[in-house]
Amino acid sequence: MIQYSIEELHQLFASKAIDPKAYYDELFEEVELQQKRLNAFVTITKEKAYADLKEAHFENLLNGIPYVLKDNYNTKGIKTTASSRMLEDYVPVYNAHVVDLLSKQGVCLVGKASMDELAMGGTNKSALTGPVYNPWDTSRIAGGSSGGSAALVASGVVPFALGSDTGDSIRKPAGFCGIVGFKPTWGRISRYGVIPYASSLDTVGAFTRNVRDMAIVTEAMAGRDNRDMTSSFKEVPHYLENLTDDIKGLKIAVLTSVSDEIRNPEIKANFESIVETLKNLGAIVENVTMPTQLMRTLLPTYTIIANSEATSNHSCLDGIKYGNRQPGKTTDDVMINSRTHGFGDHIKRRFILGNLALATENQERMFRKAQRVRRLIVEELNKIYQDYDIILTPNGGSIAPKVDEAYDDRLSDEYLILENHLSLANFAGTPSLSLPSGFVDGMPIAVNLSGRIFEEQTVLNCAYALENALNFKNQYKREG
């Protein structure tokens, strides 16, 4: 089975060069194979995909295109588990807004992808269905929390998949899997119907294998939704039409507070080569820093804000109205028993932490303090954006870890800044894209490009230019 981009596949379907039915037959054979290899699906929606295909007439770019949803997107009539025992058999009565939007475009749903339980994690090891393996080396993780979506795009099963990004949950796995991952501006895409993690940080976004496809998918999802009051009324630009790889004069800031932390010499060399490439493309690339002290607060600030919001957001999961209900003598017992049974240990730890930070006696010195620090971080970041269009950083400090060596909540100094800086874009709500930049030990590595809020186009253009100058467009890995 040949791997096509959205644009290629559309061309082939529309011109009748290939038979869509035959293509999907082949696709689902591949789904079976890759599921055995990667364990990336929670649910395979074969019937739904064929039903969607029947309706397709290939009149627009996304019509008839196969895709995958992270399992925290509510899908009416289709099991939506968020990889949690609590929602093991949960079948929603409504669709997430973007699911409706994409359905209108005629996309075909291939399946629901595995994720860290309730999107809280960075390894995908906490999924109820077990770890998701990296297509480039199945002894390694795909990353998280959107690990299943990343693995399915990186193994060439589908040209695009949706993820969600609260701290780095799209961009980290995109980097580990050698594909494009994009978190647009907070408020650019409706979050309605996406099982939340932390509302003030959560963002809907996608994985693709090239930047043009990313422009297509982002454009299809962006825009105001009256069911999400935080979604913007701002007009949505034609990202694809406006896409250009001419970045002459673009002002790019290299955030050395992050890149100076790189220990791995090959990653360091790769990053330096990317800086050179961007200069050769005509961009003005300069070094900037942020106060180290502030950079060291990223993880604790994130931990407190994200878990505090999460504990409240997931209070609805009590076994009373839906989800996994455990019996009890009183309604209180039902709730306690259901939540005890329904959540994994790491989730309970995070809920306890969030409750601790929100408790009236602690709120001022924990939750509110974290919010104030967040504001300081954003102010510092905005100072850089006064002079620069793009902030460039390495995506992370290592290749995807081995499955049995990957842990969440690492607090070692080595990783404190280098593995947590992607949360900057969540704190500030800015668009942020991770792009494959090379290989180390046969595993993909990546760089990250972030821009000002609502300047998705600038970020996409810069990524497009860099992608064209590099050799990693449309890459995928099928066999181990």
Partner 1 sequence: MNFEQVIGLEVHCELKTHSKMFSAAPVTFGEDVNTMVNEVDLGMTGTMPVLNKRGVEFAIRVCHALHMEIDELLCFDRKNYYYSDLPKGFQITQDKRPIGRNGYLDIEVDGEVTRVEIERLHMEEDTAKQFHFDDYSLIDYNRAGIPLIEIVTRPNIGNGAQAAAYLEKLRQVFLYTDVSDAKMEEGSMRCDVNISIRPFGSEEFGIRTEIKNLNSISNVQKAIEFEAMRQEKVLIQGGEVKQETRRFDEDSKETVVMRAKGDAVDYKYYTEPNILPIRLDHQWVMQIKDELPMMADERAKLYIEKHGLPQTDANILVASKDISDFYEETIQTCQEYKLVCNWLLGEVQAYLNKENLTIQQTKLTPAYLGKMISFIQDGTISSKQAKKVFECLMSEGKDPEVIIEEKGMKQISDPTTLTNIINEVLDANEQSIQDYAAGKDRAVGFLVGQIMKKTGGQANPKVTNQILIQLLKARVQ
Exactly one of 11, 103, 200, 289 binds partner 1 (CB under 8 A); that residue is: 200
Closest CA to 449 of 465, 431, 467, 472: 431
96 interacts with partner 1 by CB under 8 A: yes
Exactly one of 160, 367, 388, 427 binds partner 1 (CB under 8 A); that residue is: 367
Three-state secondary-structure class, residue 181: strand
Closest CA to 465 of 247, 173, 238, 162: 247
State the CB neighbour count (10 A cutoff) for residue 138.
19
- Helix ranges (H only) for 157-283 are 171-177, 211-221, 256-259, 265-280
- Helix ranges (H only) for 178-291 are 211-221, 256-259, 265-280
The strand ranges marked E within 34-136 are: 41-44, 66-70, 108-113, 133-134
94 interacts with partner 1 by CB under 8 A: yes
Closest approach, Cβ 378 to partner 1, in A, equals: 15
> Within 13 A of 76's CA, how many CA atoms are on the CB side?
9
**Helix/strand number for the chain, H first, E second:** 18, 13
**Active-site residue among 114, 155, 164, 169?**
169
**Active-site residue among 83, 114, 126, 145?**
145
195 interacts with partner 1 by CB under 8 A: yes
Helix (H) or strand (E) holding 122, with range, is: none
Exactly one of 6, 142, 152, 358 binds partner 1 (CB under 8 A); that residue is: 358
216 interacts with partner 1 by CB under 8 A: no
**Which positions ≥6 away from 262 have C-beta within 8 Å?**
268, 271, 394, 397, 418
Exactly one of 332, 379, 387, 441 binds partner 1 (CB under 8 A); that residue is: 332
Number of chain positions touching partner 1 (CB under 8 A): 46
359 interacts with partner 1 by CB under 8 A: yes
364 interacts with partner 1 by CB under 8 A: no
Closest approach, Cβ 199 to partner 1, in A, equals: 4
Segment interacting with partner 1 (CB under 8 A) among 16-24, 220-228, 233-241, 379-387: 220-228
- Is the Cβ of residue 74 or residue 475 nearer to partner 1 in the bound state? 74
Closest CA to 240 of 67, 63, 461, 15: 461
Exactly one of 103, 199, 277, 326 binds partner 1 (CB under 8 A); that residue is: 199
- Is the Cβ of residue 309 or residue 389 nearer to partner 1 in the bound state? 309
Instruction: Let me know if 70 is a catalytic residue.
Output: yes
Instruction: Let me know if 145 is a catalytic residue.
Output: yes
119 interacts with partner 1 by CB under 8 A: no
Closest approach, Cβ 132 to partner 1, in A, equals: 22
60 interacts with partner 1 by CB under 8 A: no
Q: Decide: 90 and 19 in contact? Cβ < 8 Å.
A: no
Phi-psi domain of 137 (left: phi exceeds 0; alpha: psi -120 through 50; beta: other): beta
- Is the Cβ of residue 138 or residue 308 nearer to partner 1 in the bound state? 308
Query: Could you give the CA distance from residue 39 to residue 32 in angstroms, rounded to a whole number?
Result: 10
Closest CA to 65 of 182, 157, 178: 157
The residue count of the chain comes to 480
Backbone angles phi, psi at 329, to 5 degrees: -70, -40
What is the identity of the amino acid at 77?
G
109 interacts with partner 1 by CB under 8 A: no
Q: Which two tokens stand for residue 186?
A: 């907070």
Binding mask 337-356 for partner 1 (x = CB under 8 A): ------------------x-
Q: How far apart are the first and last CA of the chain?
A: 16
Closest approach, Cβ 277 to partner 1, in A, equals: 39
Instruction: Let me know if 273 is a catalytic residue.
Output: no
400 interacts with partner 1 by CB under 8 A: no
Binding mask 291-320 for partner 1 (x = CB under 8 A): -----------------xx-xxxxxxxx-x
Segment interacting with partner 1 (CB under 8 A) among 61-69, 206-214, 224-232, 451-459: 224-232
Q: Decide: 80 and 72 in contact? Cβ < 8 Å.
A: yes
321 interacts with partner 1 by CB under 8 A: yes
Exactly one of 5, 34, 43, 74 binds partner 1 (CB under 8 A); that residue is: 74
Residue positions annotated with a catalytic role: 70, 145, 169
Q: Which residues bind partner 1 (CB under 8 A)?
A: 72, 74, 82, 87, 92-94, 96, 191-196, 198-200, 226-230, 308-309, 311-318, 320-322, 331-332, 334-335, 355, 358-361, 363, 367
